[in-house]
């Protein structure tokens, strides 16, 4: 029986986690680099945590749903 590093039940869940992780890192770098002060950086970090929400919201708004 072949063992994998990922222990999730679903086959593609490891890839999804990696994509979210790299997206999170990119969002943190972007938001913090554009921050004008400490609290703007903290807000940027919090935004980076929920960046998929912004992505889905804007996609649905674009599609007119």
Q: pLDDT tens, 38-49? A: 999 999 999 999
| Alpha-carbon gap, residue 11 to 17, rounded angstroms | 12
Give the pLDDT confidence of 5-28 residue by residue, as tens digits.
656 565 556 667 778 888 889 989
Coil, helix or strand for 46? helix
> pTM for this structure?
0.63
């Amino acid at each position: 029986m072949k063992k994998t590093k990922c222990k999730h039940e679903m086959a593609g869940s490891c890839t999804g986690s990696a994509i979210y992780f790299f997206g999170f890192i990119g969002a943190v770098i972007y938001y913090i680099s554009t921050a004008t002060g400490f609290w703007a950086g903290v807000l940027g970090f919090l935004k980076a945590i929920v960046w998929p929400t912004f992505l889905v919201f804007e996609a649905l708004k674009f599609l007119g749903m």
